[in-house]
Amino acid sequence: MKVGENVVEHRVQNFIMQCRELGIKVTPQRIAIYRELSSTGEHPSAELIYKKIKKYYPNISLTTIYRTLETFEKLGIISVANILHDAARYDANLNPHHHLVCVVCKKVADFYDDSLSNLTVPEKSLDNYKVLGYTVQLNGICKECQRKKS
């Protein structure tokens, strides 16, 4: 799922401002990594981002991609979704949302539901944890995979 160019440009401009506010260098490689991530709603892995960026930054390494994504995540610029104990998948959409995950092809889709964004968790269930945030992940089989099985 491709994200509209206006949305991507807006996200990139916000990203540049955030980096400057946080005191991290705004390099062409960092912008390219963020642009690749923010231009899709498909939650790509570091390897997929690397394959795309390698086309126009042939000297960039996979290690650089991993380190950059890790830095972005630590700074709160992106989020990480560990889908079905698979490789980490990355998401530039920081608006509150949840995920639908296909257990066959591992495709991830965003979905929004305000009732799930306002869940009340009983204190006794938290076992002295301080909850910083949460998302709901629904596992199933996407339409394409259902069709293939028929």
Mean pLDDT for each 10-residue chunk of the chain (150 residues)?
A: 83 94 94 93 91 94 96 91 74 88 87 86 79 84 89
State the pLDDT at residue 84.
Answer: 61
Architecture of the domain made up of 98-149: 2-Layer Sandwich (3.30)
Characterize the bridge pairing of strands 137-140 and 98-102: parallel
101 within 8 A of 108, measured Cβ to Cβ: yes
Residues 6+ apart with CB under 8 A from 89: 43, 44, 45, 80, 81, 82, 83, 108
Predicted pLDDT of residue 57: 94
d(CA 79, CA 76): 7
Would you call 45 helix, strand, or coil by DSSP?
Answer: strand
Q: How many CA atoms lie within 13 A of 10 on its CB side?
A: 6
The two three-digit tokens of residue 122, written as one number: 């009983």
> What pTM did the predictor assign?
0.74
* Predicted local distance difference test score (pLDDT) of residue 67: 96
pLDDT at site 35: 94
**Domain segments of the chain: what residues?**
5-91, 98-149
- Indicate the fold that domain 5-91 takes in CATH: Arc Repressor Mutant, subunit A (1.10.10)
